[in-house]
Amino acid sequence: MPQFECLFFLENSLLYIVEIKRTDLAEDADIAEKFKWLIINKDTLAIKELHFNSMDSSGEIEERYFQEGYLKFNATTGTFIEKYNSAQHPLDRRLDFRLQDALVNSIALSLS
């Protein structure tokens, strides 16, 4: 059983962006350790952590600000804009999804 649950799942043809909540930590664990945003290369399953700065939630639109860029999404679509090269990644948000075993294993390895 994975040591995390996936809270948000966005993807395009090249990458996944997910927010996970670790379930293997104590209730009083630091929030930055419990909740992680990850950007994952679909081909290699290489994972990079996005370093969370702040968020805004205004009804239908969610926004997340990271050291590496900016993510804006709603119930169906999103966009991630990289900070350093300004690349824009249009994304589809998946509300009903099942993480593939290989992806679960890659995420679990990145947490250990």
pTM here is 0.91
Total number of domains in the chain: 1
- Sign of dihedral through CA atoms 10, 12, 17, 23? positive
pLDDT of residue 1: 58
Q: Does an H or E element contain 83, and which?
A: none
Per DSSP, the residues of 56-82 read EEETTEEEEEETTEEEEE-SSEEEEEE
Residue 18 forms beta bridges with which residues? Answer: 9, 38
Mean pLDDT of 4-33: 94
The Cβ of residue 91 has, within 10 Å, a number of other Cβ atoms equal to 21
pLDDT of residue 27: 87
Examine the pLDDT at 93 and tell me if it is beyond 90: yes
Residues in the chain: 112
Examine the pLDDT at 17 and tell me if it is beyond 80: yes
Residue 103: give the domain boundaries.
4-111
**How do residues 29-88 score in pLDDT, each as one tens digit?**
999 899 999 999 999 999 999 999 999 998 899 999 999 999 999 999 999 999 988 889
